[in-house]
Amino acid sequence: MTKRHTAKYKLDRRMGENIWGRAKSPVNKRSYGPGQHGQRRKSKVSDFGLQLRAKQKLKGSYGNLTEKQFSRTYTEAARRKGNTAENLIALLESRLDAVVYRAKFVPTVFAARQFVNHGHVTVNGKRVNIPSYRVKPGDVVEVRERSRNMALVIEAQASGERDVPDYIEVDGKGLSAKFIRTPELAEVPYAVKMEPNLVVEFYAS
């Protein structure tokens, strides 16, 4: 596991954007980069730099995703028929931890990974504790009965920071969600602009 969970907002500062759209992000107060010379760092970025930035931003938005995991996901996206950039987004959004986060079972992507790891979630009635598990259209993801009164679940349910996207159908109590379809880029509620086409260029170069 990576160490991003101990310093998750460093990515926000480095990118100068509120990656997860959270009120606690330091970018809301300081939009410039970290460090002594952060405010003066305005040099022109090369094409490679733009591609790398797009890759780091997209990868970072899914929390504790390692470079190996992300690269493997890209390889699978490139292998599939159709637009590689759209395939990449579809695969990332099909991850169980991503569905748990989008369904608002937990407040953050970092919590979603841990929530799945600790066995608090079922898929079609069976317990699954693998964050990278690929959810298929029609699958029902549910918070286990004994986990429904956890503080982070209650916090997420009450939060007004984000809405559940149209490709996920949440039940009335908000603790069971059906994955309707794999989404297109335009449907995913990223807090900032993502450019998967640049990610494709990064890996293709």
Question: Exposure string (b/e) for 6-44, b if CB count within 10 Å is 16 or more?
Answer: eebbebbbbbbbbbbebeebebeeeeeeeeeeeeeeeee
pTM for this model (two decimals): 0.84
Token representation of residue 136? 């298929």
The 10s digit of each residue's pLDDT in 34-85 is: 555 445 555 688 999 999 999 999 998 998 889 999 999 999 999 999 999 9
Alpha-carbon distance 136 to 97, whole Å?
13
The 10s digit of each residue's pLDDT in 74-97 is: 999 999 999 999 999 999 999 999
Q: Is the pLDDT of residue 29 over 70?
A: no
